[in-house]
Structure 1
């Protein structure tokens, strides 16, 4: 018995010791993370500003305490903010310490509109100073190459290549898999182009869906070709011919011969080029600073006078009302931010930055109401990012002006509902049966264990029709159109920004900075400052907020990398029960 108590006591003491050590280690990590954010960024003379776009591109730089934390065995997928890239390029124009921009490219982990926004910022940089832009990649995917074409010199590794073959997209269909599992997706929708439900009811694309994909993909490709043609002095016909012949497997020397790039060089030769640009002699290292750090660095020449006039820049990124993934737009939370800016007299205008494929109709309506109220009292300009479709367009339509890139994905004005019937899975596959007790005829409305009744389907279809009518009414009111005109370009159809300008869904082309300048122009503001909302938590608060779900998501992202989106899509699909105003699919164009 003495031995038993001895071992029990030793175990308890051991657990207590480990807990105490873990407690102190936890707060040491917090201290290190917090202190690291307070460090002053030092920029050396003769530096190159490095833009590494293999990181995930998001609208707003994260205040993530784990961003620079490396864990052995987990690939590091960091995020880079468009706001950091743009502010860094603006400052670098005036900073004598920065001698040029180094684009570190291979694969761009971002959407087409984000690439366009960065490309335009680089063109502005070139037009505003005589500092060179140097692009290098071991290889270039198509988005990376499109971005690289703005550089003064494009260099590829001799064994690298330029992936140039035209755009293609692929959809996954789950119909047969669901049949094998014994799950029936019961679908009600309005809009022949509303293809969000097709993966659950078909085995291939409908003709309407194929048509809309060809239209907007062709628009994206033509935009890319025009930009490449202008900067590389290659006719569009010649570029299409090269794409048809596929450049993907051709080595660096052949890319030079075709005129796609300027040189094929090894990394040591690239470093020699950078030394020439920066004036570094011998074999000394080239001073570099990342945009993430440089965005925090003070630049005397770029300092702006303080202004009491404020423009609120409110970010809305992620699915609307669907708490899946690390970015989500909650109707009440975003509505509160818009309301606070509307009621604060120091804010002269509001710019709402939307990057969303849509989601919950209810949350979209909550946000729409706040946007409408804000637009009635103040200048309200909306800026579209990579995607502002379905619910993402729903919340934008009351604005005074909508600004988007030609390759923004938007539209998708339509609504659908989806109720799974898992009766066969439970009964036939798992041997689980259910029984019902109810006080009224339809007390078990929309059960997940049986097919919908004709009456239930009628009720749901009626709800969908009313929701669609409300959607097109909002768009008609906000865009100065008739409901019939909106319905004609609605029906769930997806458009690019280029198409959207032609049919009246947006007002002009541009990025977030253009939207801010437009808001200032409308208000007649010469001096103003922007305030980004919602306020980001500091690293300590962010760490405490990070619950088990966020930690799991973080580890999955590190492990799966870009393939995480497939996991996220399946997760979203499994939880989509109810009525949604969402884009037809999660779009990935290669």
Structure 2
């Protein structure tokens, strides 16, 4: 059989069957690279393939190809070292349409042969349609356009694939009116089998046997009807195969990297943290890999806030529902590790671990006495008696309003944070006694029921196998399952996939461009970059909804207002917007959330702080003590109002207070519009700088519902009219697509920060309360 005929057989047999969408990354058509070009973007995983073999006529073949999401390239060569010497090159492009309901494709190829001089060029258009999640239809017109010394035969290829059920599919393919064939493919667990059955025409039976090697590679052996193995293929995919293993395994999931909402840019010292998106992708991989039956979550060195801890708890709970056994290993016991591990089948504590179960406390340092001593006067005005962030600079001690709010907040926050771990214990009396008579000893944590046993890490797997499965295996092998960024599951779903945009608002909200501060390790989000991203979103037809993920204590009032306005416009005119609050959505962060159609927060999220403050620092007294003098030069009496060399005049103080009052009134209008709470009662009992937990926020109407990112995705789908069962793609609008470029931008922001140190910082929204995060 000629190599060109063999390629045709491969191509036609995979016309309608979407290459790579099932368990066959290397068959029957080499990732779709040599067949229907419309299947390329349906493939949904960049990768590559190598094919080699020998047919019955002793023609040796070699082919290779690689593909991205929308572009691909192939090369093939065959020769019998005598009469046959042929080579082909192809460039392939394809485009998904209508939420991946249909795929248009195009292939441009070049063909050279020893039978003629010169090069033949041709173009092949193709289309692939998925009318249902169990049916795919395909068509292409091979060599529809061509020119060169030797005209190649035009072939109209068509086909359909029917997924009978998960793991079994039947495909029909035809060429013109002359050749018809079936391809039956089945998953047998450790082996995938495909059988090509000729119906009409000059075709042969062929059997494909395919097996996964690890999570990215798959090898395929093709056996002809003379029962000789003649062709072998190796395929690679960047998306990971969900379940390439058969035997049950014991795996350890290390959680030592700091877990954050987003990851900073490029670092010469390697990866310094892991984002919530990477963590969720890792749980998706664990949920899809049924071979991981005993999973040890190693919380050694764990650093994360309450929102991410809750996401981990939900992920562990999902694994439990699948019948997995989950073990949490802690090297320190504190509220966030208890929250993250509370859904585990067993909680194990290291014997010498330190126990921190004493409630929630915080300290506020007051500077006014020191400033008075050195001659610095901080002039800060506010609207809201509970807006206590200004008090350390203007008062000697905490106000009654601030103490009342923080005491209520801390009590509710503690109860919310520990509720899940308390549910594991039949009686909480010993646990309550631990709060009155604290102990740092691990044995006391076991005594009161916070943990199940005390062991070192190497003892955990044998303990779990012995106590849960009755297996005595003191030297069991445990494989690491380290979370990685950008891991995608090999997607086998033929349903349409709508896109939902994700916008992260993290850290302080600033005017202009935000970034990562190398001095403090903190993030900030700038209004300019957010507005630019949202401007592009409004022009893009590809997204069905927007999720705004907020983890911010607030910041610039004007920046917060600008972002709120843009989100409100989008939610009212362009697409549904859902706000998902992580650890904190306070002050300006909460104002931004009010631009969404719905606000979702965790039970332990910090929300509210509806208020504003502003002012400046005057160093006149200090300069006088140092015998220094600052002389202003100005065109008008109040031109130096923001200068540090003098205090506010009565007129300037009144002007600033009027601005704060007006913005506060505007803030109330924004919250009233988002929550439908009456403005008067909002001002009287919920605003003025008061801070609440997410649980309190739901009760008082500031928050619509409790939940994490999964709940936000479900609500976004509901608002957008996307069926709950339909998968969606979550795409970040402010992702660090280029770590290097983002890092260079961060260095520029550092220089801007250094230059701004000498400038007067006039005013900003709420700075986070002194919570022990």
Are positions 1:539 and 2:739 aligned together? yes
Q: CA deviation at 1:525?
A: 0.8
Tell me, in whole angstroms, the C-alpha distance in 1 between the residues paired with 2:239 and 2:472: 25
Out of 154, 159, 169, the position equivalent to 2:347 is: 154
Q: Would the alpha carbon gap of residues 573 and 549 (structure 1) be closer, same or farther in structure 2, given more than 3 Å must change?
A: closer
Are positions 1:352 and 2:545 aligned together? no
Tell me, in whole angstroms, the C-alpha distance in 2 between the residues paired with 1:466 and 1:169: 32
Which position in structure 2 is the counterpart of 1:529?
729
Tell me, in whole angstroms, the C-alpha distance in 2 between the residues paired with 1:584 and 1:198: 13
- Secondary structure class of the residue paired with 2:378: strand
Tell me, in whole angstroms, the C-alpha distance in 1 between the residues paired with 2:634 and 2:756: 31
Question: Which one is further off, 443-452 or 531-540?
Answer: 531-540
Out of 477, 483, 487, the position equivalent to 1:291 is: 483
Are positions 1:364 and 2:364 aligned together? no
Greater fraction of residues in strand: 2
Out of 112, 122, 142, the position equivalent to 2:335 is: 142
**Match runs of 1:348-497 below 5 Å:** 348-377=544-573, 378-429=575-626, 431-488=627-684, 489-497=686-694
Which position in structure 1 is the counterpart of 2:456?
266
Tell me, in whole angstroms, the C-alpha distance in 1 between the residues paired with 2:251 and 2:484: 10
* Matched residues, number: 520
Tell me, in whole angstroms, the C-alpha distance in 2 between the residues paired with 1:343 and 1:223: 41
Q: CA deviation at 1:408?
A: 0.5
Q: Which has the higher contact order (CA 8 A, sep 6+)?
A: 1
Which position in structure 1 is the counterpart of 2:710?
513
Which position in structure 2 is the counterpart of 1:99?
293
Please tell me whether Structure 1 or Structure 2 has the larger radius of gyration of its CA atoms.
Answer: 2
Q: Would the alpha carbon gap of residues 40 and 510 (structure 1) be closer, same or farther in structure 2, given more than 3 Å must change?
A: closer
- Secondary structure class of the residue paired with 2:458: helix
CA offsets per residue over residues 166-206 of structure 1, 9 Å max, x none?
11122222223323432110011000000111111223321
Out of 293, 313, 319, the position equivalent to 1:119 is: 313
Q: What's the C-alpha RMSD, in Å, of the aligned pairs?
A: 3.2
| Aligned residues of 1:349 and 1:380 also touching (Cα < 8 A) | yes
Q: CA deviation at 1:391?
A: 0.3
Out of 462, 484, 502, the position equivalent to 1:313 is: 502
CA offsets per residue over residues 468-493 of structure 1, 9 Å max, x none?
11111111122223321221210011
Tell me, in whole angstroms, the C-alpha distance in 2 between the residues paired with 1:82 and 1:374: 25
Q: Would the alpha carbon gap of residues 160 and 434 (structure 1) be closer, same or farther in structure 2, given more than 3 Å must change?
A: closer
- Secondary structure class of the residue paired with 2:763: strand
Are positions 1:244 and 2:436 aligned together? yes
Tell me, in whole angstroms, the C-alpha distance in 2 between the residues paired with 1:484 and 1:417: 24
Tell me, in whole angstroms, the C-alpha distance in 1 between the residues paired with 2:482 and 2:577: 33
Are positions 1:581 and 2:765 aligned together? yes
CA offsets per residue over residues 491-539 of structure 1, 9 Å max, x none?
0111111111111111000001211111102222133322122232323
CA offsets per residue over residues 413-459 of structure 1, 9 Å max, x none?
00000200011222313x32122333322232232111111111111
| Aligned residues of 1:356 and 1:389 also touching (Cα < 8 A) | yes
Q: Which sections of structure 1, spanning at least 5 residues, go unmatched?
A: 1-37, 70-77, 554-567
Question: Which one is further off, 264-273 or 486-495?
Answer: 264-273
Tell me, in whole angstroms, the C-alpha distance in 2 between the residues paired with 1:418 and 1:111: 31
Q: Would the alpha carbon gap of residues 309 and 139 (structure 1) be closer, same or farther in structure 2, given more than 3 Å must change?
A: closer
Q: CA deviation at 1:580?
A: 2.0
Q: Which sections of structure 2, spanning at least 5 residues, go unmatched?
A: 1-236
In the superposition, the TM-score normalised over structure 1's length comes to 0.80
| Aligned residues of 2:351 and 2:456 also touching (Cα < 8 A) | yes
Q: Would the alpha carbon gap of residues 44 and 134 (structure 1) be closer, same or farther in structure 2, given more than 3 Å must change?
A: farther
Question: Which one is further off, 117-126 or 511-520?
Answer: 117-126
In the superposition, the TM-score normalised over structure 2's length comes to 0.62
Tell me, in whole angstroms, the C-alpha distance in 2 between the residues paired with 1:217 and 1:572: 35
- Secondary structure class of the residue paired with 2:423: helix
- Secondary structure class of the residue paired with 2:353: coil
Q: CA deviation at 1:256?
A: 2.4
Greater fraction of residues in helix: 1
Q: Would the alpha carbon gap of residues 351 and 92 (structure 1) be closer, same or farther in structure 2, given more than 3 Å must change?
A: same
Q: CA deviation at 1:254?
A: 3.3
Tell me, in whole angstroms, the C-alpha distance in 1 between the residues paired with 2:496 and 2:760: 46
Which position in structure 2 is the counterpart of 1:84?
278
CA offsets per residue over residues 297-344 of structure 1, 9 Å max, x none?
x544x6444745211111111100165554111112112222322332
Tell me, in whole angstroms, the C-alpha distance in 2 between the residues paired with 1:480 and 1:169: 34
CA offsets per residue over residues 80-124 of structure 1, 9 Å max, x none?
222222222233122134233322225642222332232223222
- Secondary structure class of the residue paired with 1:547: helix
Question: Which one is further off, 347-356 or 46-55?
Answer: 46-55
CA offsets per residue over residues 13-65 of structure 1, 9 Å max, x none?
xxxxxxxxxxxxxxxxxxxxxxxxx9998999565554444432212345544
CA offsets per residue over residues 354-408 of structure 1, 9 Å max, x none?
1110000111111011011101121111100100000001111131111111110
Which position in structure 2 is the counterpart of 1:337?
533
- Secondary structure class of the residue paired with 2:424: helix
